[in-house]
Amino acid sequence: MEHVLREIASQPECWRRALELGAASPAGLPEAGERVAVIGCGTSLYMAQSYAVLRERSGQGETDAFAASELPARRYDRLVAITRSGTTTEVLHALGAAARTDPGISTVVITADPATPVSGLAETVIALEFADERSVVQTRFATSGLALLRAHLGEAPADLAAQAEAALAAPLPEGALSRRQFTFLGSGWTNGLAQEAALKLRESALAWAEAYPAMEYRHGPISIADGNSLVWFFGGPEELREELTRIGALTTAAELDPLADLVRAQRLAVELSRSRGLDPDSPRNLSRSVILR
């Protein structure tokens, strides 16, 4: 069995541990009222985006998410970095630059591997070693990190881990494997999930996969949709789904919590990869951590 499939299947257990940890408010996470920037790259960026929306929505304070390479020189009370590997160059640079330009800023990193350079650059380290992964393609570290952050906000459904179990058993959209174009739509905090689902399909299955805020999708990208498309709703209006059905696209929508539905999209990525004769553990042109020299 592929590592990624084993890691996908272990998410309910990982989420239980992450939810417990988040609810216990580990030191270093943002306090209510703070202005916060959250950074990451790739998957970790998309989790940062989802968290930023959730935190603002919960009334705990202004929260911006940035690709680590794009962190502006603004003043924040706290910088939260998310990195599975702890070695991603842009994350290390951003933490270093923030400490130099804004000595008053508090820094915290959420990582799967605390024995890495990132630990020397953040004041507080939250280690999710139990969610570390062998696969290049991230699944359980990312979702466990977001589960932890949601629990810390007091926003995680009590049965979230059970919903991950349901997502592992839920059917994939019938006919999905024969589609050639995949679009994931979100709204609010689920935009990050839509981006992450599309990334999974690109990394694991070299698939043509895109992601948009559902309402933005109407402003052009919808022209792509046809009988070869699967459009997956993590958020967005029912009328749009009906319109896409009329166009001939296959559609599916989250019946579970959207984070649990991401598990279903991860499974689709692996199935699609297999059906194309690829190895989902070894995406083309990608290493487990992007380290720039």
Interatomic CA distance for residues 11 and 67, integer angstroms: 25
Cβ–Cβ < 8 Å for 141, 133: yes
Q: Which residue's CB is nearer to ligand F1P, number 80 or number 250?
A: 80
The DSSP bridge partners found for residue 38 are 65, 80
Q: What are phi and psi of 190, to 5 degrees?
A: -80, -5
Least separation in angstroms between residue 281's CB and ligand F1P is 11
Instruction: Name the residues that contact ligand F1P, by CB under 6 A.
Output: 41-44, 83-85, 88, 91, 136-138, 203, 286, 288-290
Q: The dihedral of CA 75, 76, 78, 84: what is its sign?
A: negative
Q: Which residue's CB is nearer to ligand F1P, number 111 or number 252?
A: 111
Q: Which residue's CB is nearer to ligand F1P, number 83 or number 163?
A: 83
Q: Which residue's CB is nearer to ligand F1P, number 44 or number 143?
A: 44
Least separation in angstroms between residue 3's CB and ligand F1P is 12
Q: Which residue's CB is nearer to ligand F1P, number 193 or number 256?
A: 193
Q: Which residue's CB is nearer to ligand F1P, number 165 or number 281?
A: 281
Interatomic CA distance for residues 37 and 58, integer angstroms: 16
Q: How far is CA 43 from the centre of its chain?
A: 5
Least separation in angstroms between residue 136's CB and ligand F1P is 5
In which region does residue 175 sit, left (phi positive, over 0), alpha (psi from -120 to 50) or beta (all else)? Answer: left
Least separation in angstroms between residue 15's CB and ligand F1P is 18
Closest CA to 181 of 116, 238, 104, 251: 251
Least separation in angstroms between residue 85's CB and ligand F1P is 3
Give me the residue whose beta carbon is nearest to ligand F1P: 42
Cβ–Cβ < 8 Å for 87, 117: yes
Least separation in angstroms between residue 179's CB and ligand F1P is 23
Cβ–Cβ < 8 Å for 226, 247: yes
State the greatest distance between any 2 C-alpha atoms of the chain, in Å, as a whole number: 56
Q: Which residue's CB is nearer to ligand F1P, number 137 or number 231?
A: 137
Contacts of 285 (CB under 8 A, 6+ apart): none
Question: Strands of 208-213's sheet, edge to edge?
Answer: 208-213, 181-186, 229-233, 250-253
Least separation in angstroms between residue 267's CB and ligand F1P is 17
